[in-house]
A = this chain, B = another copy of it.
Amino acid sequence: MDSKTKNRPLTPPPDGGRPTLKTIAFMTGLGITTVSRALKDAPDIGAETKERVRLVAKQIGYQPNRAGVRLRTGKTNVISLVLTLEEEIMGITSPMVVGITEVLAGTPYHLVVTPYSATKDALAPIRYILDTGAADGVIISRTEPHDPRVALLTERGLPFVTHGRTEMGVVHPYHDFDNERFAYEAVRELVERGRKRLVLLEPPPHLTFYSHMRAGFERALRDFQADAVSFHHINIDHTLVEIRDAFETLMRSDDPPDGIVSGSGSGAIALIAGLEAAKKTLGKDADMVSKVPSDFLRWLRPEVVTMYEDIRVAGRELAKAVIGHIDGQPSETLQSLSQPEFQSAVPVSIKR
């Protein structure tokens, strides 16, 4: 009876602690292995046995020990969100985290935030995750056309999804905002308002969506016959003060722009400040269309036309895509593009 029933615990687990497979095995009189297999609905376990095991497991609130599973199988049940510590003024991170966790809530996955200092190597956190097997899947943003993180993750076969596309001939899951379309529609809007000399506050050139936004901008300039005013020395990664100062200078120049496309909501704030520092008035001397991640600009400066990028939805899409990738779904089916939404005016109260 010694060695024969070693796997069949006749001693009640000392208890006080949380239930394990052993607890269920003891309660049902089954072997630990049987319980394990019953809970994963293995084909070699009897229907009635499965039912009994499931019932007991539910009753005592059994939850598999993550460390046990992870040690044995390597499955971490962790999704890692890799972020740069340098955050944007308007905090794109919050809604993103919310969106991701909304999706993960219905799964066994936990969300771990893995930061890196932008001054250092963006590959460092990726390497860490690969080397330590810290996650089953990774979410990365600030994607570049030839992104070494994508190359490394692909090579090592770790599921991931990017917020933004790449141009490496690698098919991988992504979610992106249609920045081409955004810029195109923004120009259309400005031209419709009679603006002809347009300026773009663009993303930093090394990020993929830089070329998307520029492409949309330039295509629209051609289609709607407007002119570009150069502002390439400044981009949305510059500080607000830098943007404002540069834009003030531009607005004081001989032939200032009369239409502004802002690739970021916080950038828009600085542009407005620069414009006003140059003694110009928004809506009169120039109009502005901005991409925004929240609706406060619409509240404070309704004269700005805003196009909403729903980061929360992006978070949801990204989470679904990584999980899909982990589950082996083909990458082609895990790609999505979200369209800019023109924001309507601030809702007017009904009671008035």
Q: Does A147 contact B (CB under 8 A)?
A: no
Q: A245-B349, A299-B270 are in contact. Are A131 and B94 (CB under 8 A)?
A: no
B245 touches A273 (CB 8 A): no
Q: In angstroms, how far is the closest chain B Cβ from the Cβ of A66?
A: 7
CB distance from A166 to the nearest CB of B (A): 25
Which of A47-55, A105-113, A190-198 interfaces with chain B? Answer: A105-113
Interface locus among A67-75, A148-156, A169-177:
A67-75
Given contacts A70-B67, A294-B90, A296-B269, contact A61 B131 (CB under 8 A): yes
| B115, A105: Cβ atoms closer than 8 Å | yes
Contact yes or no, B110 A241, CB < 8 A: no
What's the least CB distance linking A29 to chain B, in Å?
25
| Stretch in A31-39, A95-103, A157-165, A210-218 touching the partner | A95-103
Chain B residues with CB under 8 Å of A65's CB are 71, 132
Tell me which of B66, B92, B131 contacts A63 (CB under 8 A).
Answer: B131
* A46 sits at the interface (CB 8 A): no
Q: Is A346 an interface residue (CB 8 A)?
A: yes
B115 contacts A347, C-beta separation under 8 Å: no
A113 contacts across to B, CB distance below 8 A: 97, 101, 111-113
A83–B299 Cα distance when bound, in Å, is 26
Whole-angstrom distance between the Cβ of A148 and the nearest chain B Cβ? 20
Chain B residues positioned under 8 Å from A91 (CB to CB)? 90-91, 93-95, 294
CA distance A85 to B300 in the complex (A): 25
- In the complex this chain forms, how many copies of it are found? 2
* Chain B residues with CB below 8 A from A237, complex form: none
Does A290 have its Cβ within 8 Å of any Cβ on chain B? no
A272 within 8 A of B: yes
Q: Does A291 contact B (CB under 8 A)?
A: no
A87 in contact with B93 (CB, 8 Å):
no
Interface status of A256 (Cβ within 8 A of chain B): no
A295 touches B (CB below 8 Å) = yes
Which residues of chain A from 307 to 352 have a CB within 8 Å of any chain B CB? 346-347, 349, 351-352
Q: Flag A129-145 by CB within 8 Å of B: 1 or 0 each.
A: 00111100000000000
Give the contacts of A216-242 with B (CB-CB under 8 A).
240-241
Residues of B within 8 A of A18 (CB): 131-133
Give every chain B residue within 8 A of A85 (Cβ-Cβ): 98, 101-102
Q: Would you call B94 and A296 a contact (CB within 8 A)?
A: no
Chain B positions within 8 Å of A269 at CB level: 296, 299-300
Residue A301 at the chain B interface, CB threshold 8 Å = yes
16 contacts between A and B (CB under 8 A): A66-B70, A67-B68, A88-B94, A91-B91, A93-B94, A93-B98, A97-B97, A98-B115, A112-B112, A113-B113, A241-B346, A241-B349, A248-B349, A273-B346, A297-B300, A300-B301
List 15 other contacts, CB 8 Å, given A18-B132, A70-B70. A67-B68, A67-B76, A85-B98, A85-B102, A87-B94, A87-B95, A93-B94, A97-B113, A98-B115, A101-B114, A101-B115, A112-B112, A113-B113, A241-B346, A273-B299
